[in-house]
Each structure stands twice: as C-alpha cells, then as structure tokens.
Amino acid sequence: MSLLPEKVQAEETGLSHEEMINFKARAERDRLFGLWLAKEYLHLDEAAAGAYAQDYVRFDFDHGHRDGALLERAHADLVACGRPVSLHILERHLHQLSKVAHENVERS
C-alpha cells in the first residue's frame, strides 16, 4: 500500500504523517483491546466480538482518547458480566496492544 494517498489525506486534514499513523494505531489498539475482551472474557461470537471492538474504538474517540476512561469502561463491562479483572491487568494488556497496533499500521 502506497503512503502517498495517506500523506495527501493527512495534509488535507491538517495532520502530519506521524500524527495520522498514531491516530490509526490508537484506533487499531482499541479494536484489538475490544476483541481481546470480547473473546477472552465475554466469549462473544465473531460478529458480536467485532461489533464490541468497534464500540471501543468509538468510545475512546468520544472520550478524548483517555486511556483511563477506556480502562474504566472495560473494568465496568467485566464486573457487570461477573468476570472482574484488575485494572492493572487491563492496563498492561492495553500497553502491549499499543506495540502490536503500531506494527500493524506501519506494515499496512
């Protein structure tokens, strides 16, 4: 995939190429985090897991890209379904997924 269209799009939106990569990586990280929660703890089927993951992407965007809000949401979701997980574990996994997401975006 050529980076030229992304550079043009980034210029049109006023974002630098690096900012565009970071934006996409954050959305990918949120999607991966939602998928992990959906499959590992909520045992959702593929379609429901995909929808749940996309909801995490929207949630993070709507809440100003604050990791704390995303982690609190995840914790509350898991407590509500009777599968509580510590915030520390959630935060550690979110951090690990940041690295994976950056690699995914840079490869695409």
13 pLDDT higher than 80 = no
Q: Three-class SS of residue 92?
A: helix
Closest CA to 32 of 58, 57, 68: 57
Provide the 8-state DSSP code for 45: -
At 6 the pLDDT is: 58
Give Dmax (Cα) for the chain. Answer: 47
pLDDT of amino acid 1: 45
Task: Express each pLDDT in 77-95 by its tens digit.
Answer: 999 999 999 999 999 999 9
Q: Global pTM? A: 0.84
Residue from 106, 13, 101 nearest 56 by CA: 101
32-70: pLDDT as tens digits = 999 999 999 999 999 999 999 999 999 999 999 999 999
* Sign of the torsion formed by the C-alpha atoms of 102, 35, 68 and 86: negative
56, 30 contact by CB (below 8 A): yes
Residue 2, pLDDT score: 47
CA distance linking residue 96 with residue 41, whole number of Å: 17
In eight-state DSSP terms, residue 3 is: S
